[in-house]
Amino acid sequence: MKKTAVMLLTLLVAIAGMSLPIWVAMEESQRQAYTAESAHALGYARDVVLRGNETGRQLQTAVAQLERHAEAPCSPQSIDDMRRLDLGSTYIQAIGYVEGDRMLCSSIAGAAAVLELGAPDYAGASGALVRTDVRFPFAPQQSFVVIQSGRFAGILHSELAIDTARSEPDVSLALVSLDYPAPLSVRGRIDPGWVARLGRASEAVFEEGGNVVAVARSDRYRTAGIAAVPVHYLRTRMEHLALRLIPAGLAAGIVLTLAVLYFVRQQMALPSAVRSALRRRELFLEYQPVVDLRSGAWIGVEALVRWRRPTGEVVPPDLFIPIAEQNAMIVLLTRQVLEQVCRDTGFYLQLHPEFHIGINVAPADFHSPEFVADLHEALRRTGAQPASLILEVTERGLLDPVVARETTGVLRRHGFALAIDDFGTGYSSLSYLESLELDYLKIDRSFIEAIGTGAPTSQVVGHIIRMANDLGLRMIAEGVESHAQADFLRKQGVQYAQGWLFGRPVAFAEIVRRMEEMAENAALSAAV
């Protein structure tokens, strides 16, 4: 059942693993395509605004120059000036003098013909009068915009401002006034209402009616440029991007899925791998010295289990102890550790019964009825004394007060020493610990690390030390890496310590060799 659930979950993860990157790729190509298409549309809208601005500028300059003919606006000199200005300007088609709704003389018709303009459509903010759709007899098909400033007016080709984007004829463009609903100039299908989408902003981009629409406000006149790019451009661009991104997404999905499948397979295979490790006796022990902080002498070691896989890879206990615990293999594992400890250290313990071996005991061992028998069986074969073993049990193993009290009592009566391991990481209260028979308290490495750092946990070690003193427990500090930590602990009255400062976990033969070396050195310096 559990296996089916895991398989089902894996399948779901695999499907998600495949589809997620593709979905991300699609979303990404859509986002990138939209960004590009927005920039595309905005480019056109800005171009329209620039052309509108330039038209206005040319018109203003021209009118300013004609002002000096105000007295005789249709004189030959004035008309000459009009023609000269007309020729010199790129945007103005013609320029002329207006009275009422009629252009009395102009660069195009001189003083010979009067051009009917019709009434202005609106007056701009600057007072300019704007006619948006004027027809002349000389070009009846053509619509012109006439902008009048004072008495002079420019005739503008209504398509000049939008004479851009020729290569994309289905792009719609318009130059609009912010004060009048009909566009000044328009190509294609533009909704002048889109200008309202600007709000207070100077530019806006949105998708509407199958278009990506950009609106840009002029910083000089009360006008705005609008460009509407059909969505099919977006789609084409998106398809191009997707064509590139989706294969990458798919590849990422496959890699991800394979990785997940591999990991799950490994995880599912781990319990049976641990089981066969126990069967094939692939576990071995390393020993880390425990030192007396005052004398520096090595008073014992902690046995730490490792797993050498058939490939030669050495697996640390954090990776397989939890699996052994979850799969009812820990009792068997501990039994093998005990046997191994006795095989490695029995000869030494016979000669040095005061030497200690710390053994890590899992909560399940602690609750196992065979545990005491296993301990005795191991000792019997080596002739070592129970007092040489320190059984290290975590706060987790002492959770049930009844079992904890009974088991600690039994073990103590059999002469074993007991240590509470990783102390400080659980929630045991002082009064609870007081009710148990314990010998040592091992201060967890995390608190030793915090010493002298100013971190909030750096205060905790002081409390732990006081608590241990109140309980009459001897202390072993774990993970001591620096002299500063060792000095601090020594000053605080902590008796023992282990850590890389003194020695890393090694084979027991190496421990013995180093202790002999230290003894020789001590003898030598005593003799000198």
Binding site for ligand C2E (CB under 6 A): 288, 304-305, 316-318, 321, 337, 360, 362, 421-422, 445, 478-481, 498-500, 505
Nearest to 296 by CA among 63, 6, 104, 497: 497
The smaller minimum CB distance to ligand C2E, of residues 3 and 279, is found at 279
Residue 395 binds Ca ion, judged by CB under 5 A = no
Residue whose CB is less far from ligand C2E, 173 or 359: 359
Alpha-carbon distances of 382 from 335, 341, 342, 386, 465, rounded to whole Å: 15, 10, 6, 11, 36
Task: Report the 10 Å Cβ neighbour count for 281.
Answer: 10
Q: Residue 37 or residue 392: which is nearer to Ca ion going by CB? A: 392
Residue in this structure with the two tokens 């792009």, named with its chain if needed: 171
**Does residue 58 contact residue 155 with C-beta atoms inside 8 Å?**
no
- Min separation Cβ 327 and ligand C2E, Å: 14
Which part of the chain contacts Ca ion (CB under 5 A), choosing from 179-187, 193-201, 414-422, 446-454? Answer: 414-422
Q: How many residues sit close enough to Ca ion to count as binding (CB under 5 A)?
A: 6
Of 81 and 422, the one with the shorter C-beta distance to ligand C2E is 422
In angstroms, the CA 142 to CA 134 distance is: 8
Site string for Ca ion, 68-107 (x = CB under 5 A): ------------------x--x--x---------------
CB of 328 to ligand C2E, least distance (A): 14
CB of 276 to ligand C2E, least distance (A): 18
Say which entry of ligand C2E, Ca ion, none residue 422 contacts (CB below 5 to 8 A, set by partner kind).
ligand C2E
Residue 190 vs 417, nearer CB to Ca ion: 417
* Cβ–Cβ < 8 Å for 489, 480: yes
Grouping H, G, I as helix, E, B as strand and the rest as coil, residue 49 is helix
Question: In the chain, how many H helices and how many E strands?
Answer: 13, 21
Burial class (CB in 10 A: 0-12, 13-18, 19+), 418: buried
Tokens 């902080």 belong to: 293
**Residue 71 interface partner, choices Ca ion, ligand C2E, none, CB cut-off 5-8 Å depending on type:** none
Contact 117, 131 (CB under 8 A): yes
Query: Residue 105 corresponds to which tokens in the numbers above?
Result: 């003389």
Q: Which is nearer to ligand C2E, 234 or 305 (CB)?
A: 305
For residue 376, what are its two tokens? 């005795």
| Residue 337 CB, nearest approach to ligand C2E (Å) | 4
By beta-carbon proximity to Ca ion, the closer residue of 172 and 288 is 288
The residues in 418-477 that bind Ca ion, with binding defined as CB under 5 A, are: 421
Taking CB within 5 to 8 Å according to partner kind, which of ligand C2E, Ca ion, none is near residue 305?
ligand C2E
Site string for Ca ion, 373-392 (x = CB under 5 A): -------------------x
Cα torsion 55, 60, 65, 71 to 10°: value is 120
Phi, psi of 190 (to 5 degrees): -125, 135
Contact 348, 292 (CB under 8 A): no
Q: By rule CB under 5 A, what string of x and - marks binding of each residue 347-366 to Ca ion?
A: -------------x------
Residue 386 CB, shortest distance to ligand C2E, in Å, is 18
Using the minimum distance from each CB to Ca ion, give the nearer residue, 229 or 290.
290
Of residues 423 and 488, the one with the C-beta less far from Ca ion: 423
* Least Cβ distance, residue 354 to ligand C2E (angstroms): 22
Q: Which does 86 bind (CB under 5 to 8 A by kind): ligand C2E, Ca ion, none?
A: Ca ion
- The smaller minimum CB distance to Ca ion, of residues 121 and 422, is found at 422
Residue placing its CB nearer to ligand C2E in the complex, 238 or 451: 451
Least separation in angstroms between CB 479 and Ca ion: 11
Q: Which residues contact 260 (CB under 8 A, 6 or more apart)?
A: 10, 13, 14, 17
- The DSSP code sequence of 451-477 is TTS--GGGGHHHHHHHHHHHHT-EEEE
* Residue 499 beta carbon to ligand C2E: minimum distance, rounded to whole angstroms: 3
Contact 418, 425 (CB under 8 A): no
Between the alpha carbon of residue 96 and those of residues 58, 71, 369, 510, the distances in Å are 14, 14, 114, 109
The 10 Å Cβ neighbour count of residue 181 is: 11
Task: Please choose which of ligand C2E, Ca ion, none residue 497 contacts, taking the beta carbon within 5 to 8 angstroms, the exact cut-off set by kind.
Answer: none
Binding partner of residue 478 among Ca ion, ligand C2E, none, CB under 5 to 8 Å per kind? Answer: ligand C2E
What residues make contact with Ca ion under the rule CB under 5 A? 86, 89, 92, 360, 392, 421
